[in-house]
Chain A
Amino acid sequence: MHTSVIVVAILVLTALGYRLGRRRSVALVGGPRGTRNLHSLPSYYGFLTALWCALPALGVLGAWHLLDERVIVGAVLAELPPDMQHLPADQQGLLLNDVRNVVSGSLPAAEARPEVQSAAREWRRLQSLSNAAGASLALCLGLAGGALAWRRISPELRARNGVERVVEIALALCSMIAILTTIGIILSVLYEALNFFRVVPLTDFIFGTTWSPQMAMRADQVGSSGAFGAVPLFTGTLLISLIAMAIAVPIGLFSAICLAEYADRRLRAVIKPLLEVLAGIPTVVYGFFAALTVGPLLRSAGQFAGLEVASESALSAGFVMGIMIIPFVSSLADDMITAVPQSLRDGAYALGATRSETIRRVVLPAALPGIVGGVLLAVSRAIGETMIVVMAAGLAAKLTFNPLEAVTTVTVQIVTLLIGDNEFNSPKTLSAFALGLVLFVATLLLNIIALKIVRKYREQYE
């Protein structure tokens, strides 16, 4: 029987359980007039019966499907001729793969070796046996659970509390997904990165100054080992982030000041959303803008000034990234500035300070920690930004601080290393995960520090 049929059967059973449970609860108190003698509303008795029916059955079915293949593999291996049972692990894997392909039908049975054919037949037999067993076990459990719950229904049974407990547990599980995601990120990135560091020492990776991950196809080619010194990527990332912040911080900060302290409310209501449009534009659009509009523009401007500007330069990527981050800085700074209590401003005004003096001497120093936190968040944003740099910064891993040259960044390398069908376990692909680990740790640290600063600042004025 197909699994979906079983699932449907369980669901039908569940619906039945609901009806029966409900009906029994009503019948126990002598019809609908007596329901006020029940502890809970009749529908809760129905839900409780249904849950007892569905949860164990579905749980067992799921677990069965997760585990049955292992048992089958063990049994199939035991059935093989003795000489094939003691193969090395990798050959055994190949053999099993063949068997699996025959079973799934992607390999015609006629083409396989006779042992494989017989193993496949055995596999199929066990598989159908296991399916039948799992299905009947699940259905029996569903029936038994439902019947048990149905029997236990009494006017005193706290059906609502039971149902609500299940709801609460389900909600709690949903909130666990956040933690699971983090664990998943750490596990997947760390695992592959550790594999990489087994090939390339950590110190070479962090302190090396040449990056050329192209591994040679043949062993006798020059530079066949590849070079995985990530320093040029780090400097490139920093350079572009620096340029971006040089654009975003002054413009963002001053526009926040202008909007929070000078603009009247109607103007603010128009301008603020307009600026925030910048935050809603997809990064790929910025990348296109940087590569096709800003890059050539800077290049011709450079020619005019007698400067050699690469068509893919750190400057154009950083400049456009700065534009992207403006609303991020300005809205955070805006929050921080408006959080400064009016009493501080009033104090300064009462002494005869002008508006700008109040802002510079009182408001900004008071809001500074918050603004610093916001800027750190923006930096972490810039470091992790991918599409703009992929499209506009270039691939050359050059160790330079000249913003007019092409540089590459951590994110660009991750993308280029992983696009396309690469062999998954080569150092080249694994190095992408090592870079991902660096990126994750760096942004995480920045975020933790920034959030701490911001929270401390907020608490100060609460």
Chain B
Amino acid sequence: MSEATQARARTSQQKVAAGLKRRYRAELRFRSYGIAAVALGLLFVAFLFFSIISKGYTAFEQTFVRLEVSYAADKIDPDGKRAPADLEGANYEALVRQALRERFPEVTERGDLRKLYGLLSGSAETVVRARVLADPNRIGSRETLWLMADDHVDMLVKGHIDRNVPEDERSIDDRELGWIDRLTAEHRVEVRFNPKFLTGGDSREPEQAGVRGAVMGSLFTLLVTLFLSFPIGVAAAVYLEEFAKRNRLTDIIEVNINNLAAVPSIVFGLLGLAMFIQFFGLPRSAPLVGGLVLTLMTLPTIIITSRAALKAVPPSIREAAFGMGASPVQAVLHHVLPLAMPGMLTGAIIGMARALGESAPLLMIGMVAFIADVPKTLSDPATVLPVQVYLWASSPERAFVERTSGAIMVLLAFLLVMNAAAVFLRSRFERRW
């Protein structure tokens, strides 16, 4: 090696060494960006869940007030015949009011009385009626009942209403505050589990509102979606993957499916409105139409995942079947489809999970109406869980905030179960070839 090259090599090495420190710093910096990004992402997940759950867990509990109700015979069944129609139609509200008046005998003025009655939820009388109808022998006796409090009382007890703000800025005035404090001091106020949130339909009164109607609506809608989109999606995937010749038409179908998968969901809502409701005259707000719209929306996803599942079945299986003299239809039906089924089911569940969380297209076809009844058929007006979330989120009452979060928790629980099922299916049946 000549003198010159040696010298050049030495200076190069020196230059490299001199730059090393800077380069390692840059390395560290770059790496910390990455870690920061991941950490931020995880932080968002945690924050989102924290904010929902911390707001929402109280929706499963409700404030109840313990009162002694007397089933006065003269009020319920004056003629003593115990006729069911009489029992059904009796004025139970009066019994509840009576019980309240007994607690607070000093309240006599009309306006104050109305406020006093307002402490209890409107559902209190239905509870009393149910007790009587369940056992008419109760008439004439007294019973201690836990009756649901009004949503304002509930908010106060749960600490969402600040006692320290001036009286005219809170929804509960000082008198009511006094009554509630007295009841609390007498251990008559308690926050207990509220089954009505899970079993009741929607209501204008926050404390009576439940998610059952929306859950049933979601269930019906998803059933329609599942029964249409899964068979059609699998059939389409089988055709495209196993039978179709590569030609212009199949190319168009493929491009089409890929593009449909990325069309905004609201556009499917427009389609549903214009086609199913305006053109075919199907009923508004019905799970049937919702299911149809969601079918069209999830179909591309199901076709794409089903095709992937079919692709994952090794060609040697098909060859073996063909080699035995199986026809293409037999090869697919007997061998390929059973092997691809877990993958297809996984895809279908994920598609269904997405459909369950979808709300925008359903707004278009009128599934946003206020519906207090729990739907019983596919054409009853209904709403779905995410739309229920949207409806409650836009309600002004403070108490609906926790309902909304609670409904979100129910929704997320369903999604969690579905995704867990998908993960389970995948891990249980996934084959490595």
Contacts and interface: CB of A to CB of B under 8 A. Distances in A.
Contact of B264 (A171, A178, A439): A439
Interface in A184-239: 184-185, 188-189, 191-192
Contacts of A176: 253
A155 interface: no
Interface in A217-271: 250-255, 257-259, 261-263, 271
A384 B419 CA distance: 25
A193 B30 CA distance: 50
Given A160-B327, A419-B368, A436 B393 contact: no
A435 to B, nearest CB: 9
A174 B259 contact: no
Interface string B16-51: 100000011011011101111110111011001001
A248 to B, nearest CB: 10
B37 A254 contact: yes
Given A282-B357, A291-B393, A174 B239 contact: yes
A448 B42 contact: no
Interface string B357-374: 111100110001000000
Nearest to A354: B27
A354 B24 contact: yes
A188 B271 contact: yes
Contacts of B389: 282, 284-285, 288
Interface in A374-427: 377, 380-381, 383-387, 390-391, 411, 414-415, 418-419, 424
Interface in A267-295: 271, 274-275, 277-278, 280-285, 287-289, 291-293
A293 B267 CA distance: 29
B363 A281 contact: no
Interface in B224-248: 231-233, 235-236, 238-240, 243-244
Which of the listed residues A174, A184, A384 has the most CB atoms from chain B within 10 Å of its own CB? A174
Given A282-B359, A387-B360, A188 B274 contact: yes
B304 to A, nearest CB: 10
Interface string B362-394: 011000100000000000000000110110011
B258 interface: yes
Given A191-B274, A192-B274, A282-B357, A174 B263 contact: no
A259 B41 CA distance: 12
B253 A178 contact: yes
A132 interface: no
B48 A188 contact: no
Which of the listed residues B44, B231, B296, B401 has the most CB atoms from chain A within 10 Å of its own CB? B44
Interface stretch (B70-78, B200-208, B404-412): B404-412
Contacts of B300: 178
Contacts of B387: 284
Contacts of A259: 38
B338 interface: no
A271 B45 CA distance: 11
Contacts of B415: 280-282
Given A177-B236, A386-B266, A289 B359 contact: no
A168 interface: yes
Nearest to A185: B271
Main DSSP-derived SS at the A contact region: helix
B402 to A, nearest CB: 11
B24 A181 contact: no
B267 A189 contact: yes
A174 B236 contact: yes
B119 interface: no
Contacts of B262: 377, 380-381, 443, 447
B264 to A, nearest CB: 2
Contacts of A168: 239, 243, 329
Interface residues on B, range: 35 or more
A271 B48 contact: no
A254 B238 CA distance: 38
B320 interface: no
A372 B157 CA distance: 53
A258 B36 CA distance: 9
Given A179-B252, A277-B45, A281-B48, A189 B271 contact: yes
A454 B275 CA distance: 34
A77 interface: no
Contacts of A330: 41
A177 B297 CA distance: 12
Nearest to B389: A284
B432 to A, nearest CB: 16
B275 to A, nearest CB: 5
Interface in A328-362: 330, 352, 354-357, 359-360
B303 interface: yes
A116 B22 CA distance: 94
A440 B234 CA distance: 26
Interface residues on A, range: 35 or more
B243 to A, nearest CB: 6
Contact of A255 (B34, B233, B266, B359): B34
A251 B256 CA distance: 31
B236 A175 contact: yes
Contact of B267 (A164, A326, A384): A384
A451 interface: yes
A164 B329 CA distance: 6
A95 to B, nearest CB: 19
A269 B366 CA distance: 42
A261 B27 CA distance: 13
A292 B259 CA distance: 34
B341 interface: no
B299 A177 contact: yes
B273 interface: yes
Contacts of B299: 177-178, 181
A309 interface: no
B257 interface: yes
Which of the listed residues B34, B259, B274, B279 has the most CB atoms from chain A within 10 Å of its own CB? B34
A356 B419 CA distance: 36
A172 interface: yes
Contacts of B329: 164, 167-168
A323 interface: yes
A440 B231 CA distance: 27
B258 A387 contact: no
Contacts of B260: 178, 181-182
A301 interface: no
B312 interface: no
Contacts of B328: 164
Given A285-B412, A433-B270, A175 B235 contact: yes
A382 to B, nearest CB: 10
A170 interface: yes
B278 interface: yes
B257 A178 contact: yes
Nearest to B239: A171
A444 interface: yes
Which of the listed residues B48, B275, B278, B386 has the most CB atoms from chain A within 10 Å of its own CB? B48
A178 B232 CA distance: 10
B265 interface: yes
Given A168-B239, A175-B240, A278-B45, 13 more contacts: A174-B233, A175-B244, A177-B232, A178-B253, A179-B253, A188-B274, A257-B34, A278-B41, A282-B389, A285-B48, A354-B27, A439-B264, A444-B259
5 contacts: A278-B45, A288-B408, A326-B44, A357-B27, A387-B390
Q: Across the A-B interface, give the 3 residue pairs with the lowest CB-CB distance, nearest first.
A: A384-B264, A282-B357, A258-B34
